[in-house]
Chains A and B, each alone.
Chain A
Amino acid sequence: MKHVGAGLVASSPTAESASTAEQSRNDAPLIELSNVSKCFGELRALGPIDLAIADASFVSIVGPSGCGKSTLLRLISGLDRPSEGRLQRYGADLDGPSRRVGIMFQDHVLLPWASLLENVMLPADVFALPRTAALERARWLLELTGLKDFADHKPHMLSGGMKQRAAFCRALLPDPELLLLDEPFGALDALSREELSLELSRLWQDLARTAILITHDIEEAILLGDRLIVMSQRPGRILLDIGIDLPRPRDVDTAKRQRFLEIKQMARDLIFRRKQA
């Protein structure tokens, strides 16, 4: 079995681990969670979870709503802290957000008073990056996502898909080593959703960066990822951790492949069996 996301480690006791011998040649993985859980008061929302994510992989995390997958992403982003357990980035304890991690939220969160270009440039402004180079990259990203002609438009003049593309550009502007995607297509209609996710998949492949995608859409998770993690209902734990051995580039037809359907069925069974139990 050829593993696109080589170097993946999954050691959750409940996981049907599909990791192979070729795993973890790096000294420390990009992200490593050891026995991490998150409680809100008495309520345990997540975990305990053990998870390691290697460089240059696209990890899809899918789970029923309320399973704590967004909580997991917030922990990895450093916006929230775990109640228990240890969270490390390249072997160092994580103490808050990093400028090397980009986030794309479910809602585009574009600043409504700023033009598209200004929005994409926000990280450069906050980080005080060299302006000329940043502007060049911003324009390149806008062109890549088909937004070149809308650089001076305010967000409210654009469609949902365009806004989400702009948010993608903003997240990529500082060239983050890790991109966190929190249901980035959740607010879109089905057609824009499919189109945009495939587009993002192609772009990601070109950029060869690490990404973690949170979604409740199993097909989307499989279509985009090198690795699929299925989470249980609250408190979210890892039910399945499997490599997605589908060739790239992926397109609409990928969803018709036998292997795609097998993985989809496996994930569905796990989610629904748990629901009924």
Chain B
Amino acid sequence: MIGRAFLRRATTPAMYVALLVLWELSVRTFAVPSWILPAPTLIAATARSWAPDLIYNSYITIAETLVGFLLALVLSLPLAIMIAFTVVLRQLLYPILLALQSIPKVALAPLVILWLGVGTAPKVVVVILVSFFPILVNVVAGLEAVPKPMLDLMHSLKASEAAIFRRVRAPFATPYLFTGCKIAITFAVIGAVIGEFVAAQEGLGYMIIISTAQSLTPLAFAAIILLTFISIGFFYAVEFLERRFVTWHL
């Protein structure tokens, strides 16, 4: 007998399989040309024959995403702490940063390429641009969201600002940091692809541009699916770390 729990767990995967089957059947039934919408089986076959290229270009995109994301993290954390703790910096920097955040960073990609050339650097910079703000804004919010009673408690113990930061503010802001990282890592993949769209000789974004230009639609689909998995993988990696580090709730 199939248990209820199993049924509940099986619902989502079953739905995905059903959609794939529907896709395959529709494409075959209506004889859709493969350069418009390839069937899942054709995408899989194409992916197999292009496997070495797909793997290499995935590696390029993953590297750009990861390096850019980590640099954004390294840059935004000290800045967030400075903004949260110094009134002057807060008044000087925060309005500028918030204004910058309103610029669609994707629109800056061509400029970044113009300034930095066509190598890896401009892609990493675009990734930094898109993933920097979500981390910064969330960490600042977390550092400032510490409940007043907790601060009262620390003040009643005559704790120094450094002690308050270490024992209360930093742990309190950790879930906010992870929220920021989850947004940022998703943006980071988009940033890398945009960078590759504008000017590149490698990466999954480059593969999509090249294959669509040559009507190799199944290959473009394979690259897009890989990008999706990379994005999901990164997201769950961050969530995994979050569950390791944030084992508490209010």
Contact = CB atoms under 8 A, between A and B. Distances in A.
Interface residues of B, number: 21
B158 A99 contact: yes
B247 interface: yes
B153 A96 contact: no
Contact of B158 (A98, A105, A112, A122): A98
Contacts of B171: 111, 113
A52 B163 CA distance: 33
Contacts of A139: none
B152 A79 contact: yes
Interface stretch (A20-28, A123-131, A239-247): A123-131
B153 A103 contact: yes
Interface in A37-72: none
Nearest to B159: A126
Interface string B229-244: 0000000000000000
A154 interface: yes
Contact of B157 (A105, A107, A113, A126): A126
A97 B156 contact: yes
Q: Give chain B's interface secondary structure class.
A: helix
Contact of A111 (B157, B158, B168, B174): B168
A250 interface: no
B102 to A, nearest CB: 34
Contact of A97 (B147, B157, B246, B249): B157
A217 B159 CA distance: 32
Q: Which of B149, B156, B158 is the most central at the interface, judged by chain A CB atoms within 10 Å of its CB?
A: B156
Nearest to A106: B149
Nearest to A108: B149
B31 interface: no
B153 A105 contact: yes
A112 B250 CA distance: 6
A212 interface: no
B30 interface: no
A96 B152 CA distance: 12
Nearest to B168: A111
B156 A111 contact: no
Give the 8 A-B residue pairs with the shortest CB-CB distance, closest first: A113-B248, A112-B248, A109-B149, A126-B157, A113-B171, A126-B159, A97-B156, A103-B156
Given A103-B153, A105-B153, A111-B150, 15 more contacts: A79-B155, A97-B156, A98-B158, A105-B149, A109-B147, A113-B171, A113-B174, A113-B248, A122-B157, A123-B157, A126-B154, A126-B157, A126-B159, A126-B167, A154-B248
22 contacts: A77-B156, A79-B155, A96-B158, A97-B156, A97-B157, A98-B158, A99-B158, A105-B152, A109-B153, A111-B167, A112-B248, A112-B249, A112-B250, A113-B246, A113-B247, A113-B248, A123-B157, A126-B158, A126-B163, A154-B247, A154-B248, A156-B250
